[in-house]
A and B are shown apart, each in its own frame.
Chain A
Amino acid sequence: DGGITQSPKYLFRKEGQNVTLSCEQNLNHDAMYWYRQDPGQGLRLIYYSQIVNDFQKGDIAEGYSVSREKKESFPLTVTSAQKNPTAFYLCASSLGTGREELYFGPGTRLTVT
């Protein structure tokens, strides 16, 4: 059963702590993405990766870091430098970064207090 998994679905952290959100796909897709969604808003691109060992900043990369050591994995670290980390985080993948449709995971809701 192919798809994208994100875990956990809900995550709670104290302010000042770094936290890593996982994203795994078994679709054999080259490209992977991280989006952030705030209540009542659209999605904003944090980082994307077109190929293993390569990634680029999106529109709101400050306070976040990523790695792409394996094709199927694209973890996102929310660092203590991110001023408003509480949000819904969505991971997606696609065959490439041209016209291919994006497949999204179920999301992780992060709450930092």
Chain B
Amino acid sequence: DAKTTQPPSMDCAEGRAANLPCNHSTISGNEYVYWYRQIHSQGPQYIIHGLKNNETNEMASLIITEDRKSSTLILPHATLRDTAVYYCIVRGDNAGNMLTFGGGTRLMVKP
């Protein structure tokens, strides 16, 4: 599976959009981009995933560049409860491909 690079930490003001970047320059054609988040001392929570089209759900939007070498997770109106570590993961769709979690981005939402 391709490797991802994320900034170690980011701040965001409450109520503003949080834009979390991820680089995955070695991504291959059948690999999806997944985002999970982990609130302190809890299990990670699935947020969203996509292949090449932009995706949106009730939690967030995922914007993938046309060359698929990077993506951005957008939390449109960040709240204090969105403070967490956000993991960007690239994974193939073959059975047996496991999620590999890197260090992630620690997002701090401030009042």
Contacts and interface: CB of A to CB of B under 8 A. Distances in A.
Nearest to B47: A101
Interface string B65-90: 00000000000000000000001000
Nearest to B42: A106
* Tier of interface size on chain A: 20 to 34
A104 B91 CA distance: 18
A58 B43 CA distance: 19
Interface residues of B, number: 24
Interface of A is mostly: strand
Contacts of A107: 41-43
A96 interface: yes
Nearest to A4: B43
A97 B87 CA distance: 19
Contacts of B97: 97-98
B58 to A, nearest CB: 14
Interface of B: 32, 34, 36, 41-46, 49, 87, 91, 93-104
Interface of A: 4, 33, 35, 41-45, 48, 50, 56, 58, 88, 90, 92, 96-99, 101-107, 109
